[in-house]
Amino acid sequence: MTFYLRQYDAAMASRAGEANSPDTRNPAGAAARRTLIEVAERLFGEQGIEAVSVRSILRAAGQRNGSAIHYYFGSKDSLVVAILEERLPVVNARRDRALDELLAREQEPTLRDLVAVRVRPFAEILRMPWGPDYMKFVGRLLMWPHTVNFDRVVHERSTAGERIEQLIRARLADLPQELLDMRMDMLRALLFDTMAMWARRMGSISDLDWYIEDFIDVATAGIEVPAPDRDASP
């Protein structure tokens, strides 16, 4: 884990220098960088992060400069971080707004209400032009060996996600801490994998709300079920 955290820190140090790069301050440079992000997001989502080479990203982006990814991002790992940094603010803004609206109500939110606030913003994301590619990318990211990078980036930028999780944990305080931690991980993984599955299948958008509400019911039931008896026979 320490190795991957060092990789992430190196990626972020490289990314910090980009802000002062001349090519990211002029329209052509900004457009080239954005194209690389969008193309990489799509290819990573379709093929998997490990399967996509830097060369294939450059070729699909119509980029003739063979060092463009190194120049704009520093490395392939840093490009993955850049995709998250591009999309997470949009996701988090919607979750923050939804949570604030929920907490402003007079009645205390139920566990299902809190799970819904965690989930429904992704329905909004899936309706955006880039949403299906992003959710497929996130689904692949969960299977990438460097997923610790993903966890750290999300943790540092997802204030809404942290707020929601703490409220969910408070509703499930009777569960053993180890089991509660495991269920929060399961909820997170199931959410991203389910959204990625929808994006891959691209069902009719008119059914998306039904799909989301059913997932909320399933997820709520799954995390609140009483702790199993470890001494019971299978």
Q: Could you report the per-residue pLDDT of 88-101, keeping only the tens digit for each?
A: 889 889 999 999 99
Indicate if the pLDDT at residue 109 is higher than 90: yes
How far is residue 23 CA from its own chain's centroid?
28
- Amino acid 43: pLDDT: 97
- Residue 161's pLDDT is 82
Give the span between the Cα atoms of 59 and 23, in whole angstroms: 20
> What is the spatial distance between Cα 50 and Cα 167, in angstroms, rounded to a whole number?
36
Longest CA pairwise span in the chain (Å): 66
- Whether residue 225 has pLDDT greater than 70: yes
Confidence of residue 26 (pLDDT cuts 50, 70, 90): confident
The percent of residues above 90 in pLDDT, for the chain, comes to: 59
Mean pLDDT rounded to a whole number for the chain: 84
Where in the chain are the domains?
Answer: 2-72, 76-224
User: Does residue 143 register a pLDDT over 50?
Assistant: yes
Contacts of 203 (CB under 8 A, 6+ apart): 211
The answer to whether residue 10 scores a pLDDT higher than 50 is: no
Of residues 207 and 175, more confidently modeled: 175
pLDDT for the residue 11: 42
Q: With 80 as the cut, is the pLDDT of residue 2 above it?
A: no
Please give the residue that has the higher pLDDT: either 63 or 143. Answer: 63
CA angle (119, 204, 45) in 5-degree steps: 65
The band of 155, judged by pLDDT with boundaries at 50, 70 and 90, is low
pLDDT of residue 57: 97
Residue pair 69/77 in contact (Cβ under 8 Å)? The answer is no
User: Average pLDDT in the 95-117 region?
Assistant: 94
